[in-house]
Amino acid sequence: MKKAKTGPQESTSTQILEPPAFLKVGTEVVRTLKEFVDAADRPPGRHLQQKEFATLIGAPKSTIHDWYHGEMPAPIKFCICALERLSEEQRIDLLNRLCRPCIRLDHPRLGHNAKLIEWLETVPKRSAGLTFLVGPSDALRGFVLTAIGNTAVRLFAMKKLGGLDLRIPREWAAVPGVMYFRKPSSVADMKNAVRQFWSSCDYSGADFLLFNSVWELLPELRPKIAELAKTKTVIVGDDYVSGLEGRRPYFPQANIISLGVGPNERIDVRMSLGHEVDEKS
């Protein structure tokens, strides 16, 4: 005698729902997800366009279009159904383990630095300029650069972000538009990889650029970065090795933001602001 099948089966009847009997359609799921992302990455009353939403999550625009108008992809449905089996506490715990936090300037380690937030809010009024973000460790600079970038996504809806960060974003969500490098086995390999990448990259369409650890690694790129800053807003994460005066020949009126760590891991920020460009009228 054959055993009866107990797994999901296709049914010839439209009145029968096969397990797991998930009723939400793809457009309902993606629109709900986007509603929450809108609230996180746009000011109140503003909404992400489909292309912007795709950029934020690293998906092709065609994929987002299919999510809006096609059937729900089976892997997404299976994942949601698995999450349904968990208690609310378990779901939150699981998502916290799987998801990297999205660091912004309102993070508890930075939220007390009102001047930094005020300065960033003035960026849309400027056409260009160079800012050095200097600090004692690569991790600290990466944290603050990421916070600036992810805050800029929310503040500057019409600006395109780009750049290059040599630190892998393991601890926090990456900045959309910024490219990250897996560190090769040697410094020489890293230099060659960055040179090759730089020779093929095109920042002509970007308005706001972030570079971390590039300035010290390849001094030959300093004039090129400074040239970009004549027409774009550029923030460079750097250490103290070359000294502040070592930067002056490349952009005499650059801003300098110095980082330190205070009590309770709060990040201290000291700002020396130049007047690299005139504000737009």
Q: Where in the chain is the domain with CATH 3.40.50.300?
A: 114-272
pLDDT digits (tens, 9 = 90+) for 104-149: 998 999 877 788 888 888 776 677 888 989 888 888 999 999 999 9
pLDDT digits (tens, 9 = 90+) for 140-157: 999 999 999 999 988 887
Cα–Cα distance measured from residue 162 to residue 202, given in angstroms and rounded to the nearest whole number: 10
The enclosing H or E element of 215 equals helix 214-217
φ, ψ (nearest 5 deg) of residue 40: -85, -35
- The closest of 244, 191, 245 to 214, measured between CA atoms, is 191
**Superfamily per CATH, domain 114-272:** P-loop containing nucleotide triphosphate hydrolases (3.40.50.300)
Q: pTM score, two decimals?
A: 0.84
How confident is the model at residue 91, as a pLDDT? 96
pLDDT digits (tens, 9 = 90+) for 13-35: 567 878 888 888 888 988 999 99
SS3 122: coil
Cα–Cα distance measured from residue 133 to residue 259, given in angstroms and rounded to the nearest whole number: 7
